[in-house]
Amino acid sequence: MDRVALRGLRARGHHGVFPHEREEGQTFVVDVVLGLDTRPAAATDDLTRTVHYGVVAEEVVELVRGEPVALIETLAERIAERCLRHAPVREVEVVVHKPEAPVTVPFEDVTITITRSRA
């Protein structure tokens, strides 16, 4: 399976379990790796035979900016489901980074990584 990756998509969201996270919001960073067969698109040089990664990027940002959830696990699941709606995509890996997470010790990042595929 071939891979198309989008790394470092940034958007401000209001996800989290604490009231201040919901009120103030914070920046989330998302990486998605889409698994698909790119041979049909390569053979025809036809965008309609692959995934339009610009559209996927816009959809991911829309979800991060959208309806708040308590857990980044839930956000990652929503992103994976949206990516799998694109017909060529057979599998997706989603990493949601929460670099401003309310952690009381020095840290660089908190992430959740999930992999989902079509049933």
Residues labelled as active-site residues:
98
- How many angstroms separate the CA atoms of 37 and 24, rounded? 41
Which residue, among 85, 78, 69, 77, has the nearest Cα to 36 in the 3D structure?
85
3-state helix, strand, coil in the chain (%, to 5): 35, 30, 35
- Residues 56, 62, 64, CA angle at the centre, nearest 5°? 105
